[in-house]
Structure 1
Amino acid sequence: MIDVHNMTKKYGKLKANDNINLSVAAGELAVLLGPNGAGKSTLIKSVCGLLRYEGSITIGGHENHTVEAKRLLGYVPEFPVLYPMLTVGEHLEFIAKAYRLESWEERAQELLRRFELDDKQLKLGKELSKGMQQKVSVCCALLPEPKTVIFDEPLVGLDPHGIRELKNLIARLRDSGCALVVSTHMIESMEDNWDVTYIMVKGKIERVVRRGDIAGQRLEDVYFAITEGQLQGGAQ
């Protein structure tokens, strides 16, 4: 569903992403890990069609800038950006009209209830806390029922109930056949459900780890063995 081939993103002479290759199949949960500055957010924004890059990125076989690709993709950014003068309910209505959705109201109410926003529908975007903004962002991304979803640090700012609901929802999306990418620093939050992990260091994918490759090991231990070794090696 998500295929990245030989993708490079430069800012002047700096290569934020250096010849990235990544593939996420339907029903697969891919975790993107790396220290600050590794290039994770640049990769995500490139996949979502928000940045220019060299190489090839397709969503469901469609070039990622096309309308067909965008209809398949849901994106939850690290920092939610809501319209300050739209209510919570109006944000969902805006998405429904933008995607020309039919019979969307019941699904919208289900998402709002799941994230305890059903009593906040008349609140303006500017009146919401960071955590509530994040929940609205998740609801907007999932309303069109995308076949691929990218989450950039989705758990930051959420309360315990929101974290539990989002983790459960991610598991359900995976089981329903969605291709999922989750970029996070909260490695332990993904320990139960991941299928493949891409570990980035200095703009490159340093290691691709599949669950079967590390039987008996924690993903967190594998991550630190790779990244700390690389960072120490670079400091010598």
Structure 2
Amino acid sequence: MLEVIGLVKKYGKQNAVNDISFSLQGGEVVGLLGPNGAGKSTTMKCIVGLLRKTAGEIYIGGHDHLSVAAKRYFSYIPETPSVYDLLTVQEHMQFIAQAYAVPDWKQKAEELFEYYDLNDKKDKLGRDLSKGMRQKVSICCALLPDPQLLFFDEPMIGLDPKAIRNTKKIFKDLKAQGKTILVSTHLIDSVESIADRIMIMKDGNIVGNDTLENLKRQMVEAGYSLEDLFLELTKDE
């Protein structure tokens, strides 16, 4: 579903992402972990086309990641939610539905509003929403077109406990439907219960990439927790 080959992103002479390669299969939930500044968000923005990569190749569903065909496959939920100031919450959903030609979108929108406690916010303008509410709207807009691949960049930041629980449940539901999810975060507990595989980034490099079961088994045998492994792999030399 996603193939990244030799991705490099430079800012001047500094490598933010240093020649990384990985792939995601259909139905996989993968956690992209790393401390702040590790290159997680840069990697994700290069994949979705918000940043121009310096080198490498990226394919989504077998198509070049910048093609219209590729963009039909995925939705992206950024770390800092961006909404339209002068559209209401309801109008955001209508806009996405029309852009992606989503049939019978109103019923699905109502279900998402109910799930994220947005029913009483449907007529509020984007500029009047709190950061947490913007994040909820961003997630609802991403889910409405029923994408095959979803990119979540620090999805839990700004959400209340109920919304965090519901988002984790949505991850599990999407996985059961065969969707592919890449979740970027520096909070291990936000993906530990849902991820099939963990990729750990440090200084623009992938320093760990294995299934959650293998990582946990290795850690239990060594007497460590997954958090211990994360801190060990990302510690300063």
TM band (smaller chain): over 0.9
Please state whether the residue corresponding to 1:107 is helix, strand or coil: helix
Amino acid at match of 1:158: L
How many equivalent pairs are there?
A: 230
Q: Structure 1: where are the runs of 5+ without partners?
A: none
Please state whether the residue corresponding to 2:43 is helix, strand or coil: helix
Q: 8 Å contact 1:48–1:64 — kept in the other structure?
A: yes
The match for 1:25 is 25
The match for 1:13 is 13
Q: 8 Å contact 2:16–2:204 — kept in the other structure?
A: yes
Question: Cα RMSD over matched residues?
Answer: 1.0
Alignment of 1:188-207 (within 5 A): 188-207=189-208
d(CA) in 1 for partners of 2:186, 2:79? 12
Please state whether the residue corresponding to 2:95 is helix, strand or coil: helix
Segment drifting more, 189-198 vs 156-165: 189-198
d(CA) in 1 for partners of 2:101, 2:225? 43
d(CA) in 1 for partners of 2:225, 2:22? 22
Residue-by-residue CA offset, 1:194-227 (whole Å, 9 max, x unaligned): 1111111111111112123222363222111211
The match for 1:145 is 146
The match for 1:222 is 229
Residue-by-residue CA offset, 1:166-199 (whole Å, 9 max, x unaligned): 0100111111111100011221121112111111
Amino acid at match of 2:15: K
d(CA) in 2 for partners of 1:192, 1:164? 11
The match for 1:57 is 58
d(CA) in 1 for partners of 2:130, 2:213? 40
Runs of 4+ in 1 over 2 A off after TM superposition: 216-219
d(CA) in 2 for partners of 1:71, 1:105? 20
Give the structure-2-normalised TM-score.
Answer: 0.94
Please state whether the residue corresponding to 1:119 is helix, strand or coil: helix
d(CA) in 2 for partners of 1:92, 1:144? 10
Q: Does 1:172 align with 2:178?
A: no
Amino acid at match of 2:179: C
d(CA) in 2 for partners of 1:37, 1:189? 18
* Sequence identity (%): 47
Amino acid at match of 2:29: L
Alignment of 1:1-150 (within 5 A): 1-53=1-53, 54-150=55-151
Q: Compute the displacement of 1:25 (Å).
A: 0.8
